[in-house]
Amino acid sequence: MKRLSLTTAALAFALAAPLAGTASADSAAYPVKHPKLIANPLYEAGALPTTTCEEPKAKKNDRKLARAYFDAVVACLETTWQKHLTDAGLPYRKVRVQHVDKFPKKYCGYTTGRADSQSWYCDKNGTIAVQIGKTWLRDPSDLWLFYTAASLYAYHVQNLAGISDAYDAVPYGKKAELHEQSRRYSLQSDCFAGAFAKSVWPLKGRTTKDWNYLVSLVDGDGPDEERTLGSASSARAWLKRGFATGDPGSCNTWTAPSSKVA
């Protein structure tokens, strides 16, 4: 499997999906050619349907309200993506949400780290697991929980659409190529999250200032981490791209030049 070491920071979410494939010197895959990645039916279904979703209130240091907020965003995500996936002729299954007080050291085959706030998607059982700790409760009014839910659900979409299995199957040569494939996968989830945000925007009481502030919070790989998630500038660019179009078809990171998935 394409297992990479993913660091979960206080203001970042982590992916627990399969990262598979076998490296060999003669299996270079530039450019990516798998049809489920470059020509997925998901890209041809048009913009996500417009949905009116009420954003629940969340209060500082109130974990119960924060969890209810997260669950409400997921419910809206289900409504939006169910229609889009079925219209595209793709399978649909509800995601499972599991709130935990503290992650075990291992979850879905991954080391979770020590961050007090973190979230993971496990493709093995279609579950989003989330630990909402002090860091995310300091200011739950900043749309971070909204973004976290949308980004994690995007991995569920990739799983349902066959993108995860295709990514798992694509060969790679050097380690740098493996990391680039991982970035394409992760950055696509940012773009899908942006497209969802556009489909429910404007949220009542929210302004462009709120959205721009959220974008500024989105981070990628740190300077000392392996380049598996994408830089902050790349993550923000793909998030904004999805928001600008509202269309998952604009999120085809698999055909983007390497400079756009750095």
pLDDT in tens, the chain (262 residues): 454 433 333 334 444 444 333 333 333 346 899 999 999 999 999 999 999 999 999 999 999 999 999 999 999 999 999 999 999 999 999 999 999 999 999 999 888 999 999 999 999 999 999 999 999 999 999 999 999 999 999 999 999 999 999 999 999 989 999 999 999 999 999 999 999 999 999 999 999 999 999 999 999 887 667 889 999 999 999 999 999 999 999 999 999 999 999 9
Residue with token string 């780290």? 113
Comparing C-alpha atoms, which of 13, 3, 2, 16 is closest to residue 122?
A: 16
Where do the domains of the chain lie? Answer: 40-45+56-261
Tokens representing residue 3 in the block: 């297992």
DSSP E strands: which ranges in the chain?
96-99, 106-107, 110-111, 118-122, 127-131
Q: What is the pTM of this model?
A: 0.91
206 contacts: CB under 8 Å, gap ≥ 6: 55, 143
- Token pair for residue 110? 């991954």
Tokens 């949308």 — which residue? 150
Which two tokens mark 218? 């989105």
Amino acid identity for residue 251 in this structure: C
* Range list of H helices, 143-231: 144-160, 163-169, 175-200, 208-217
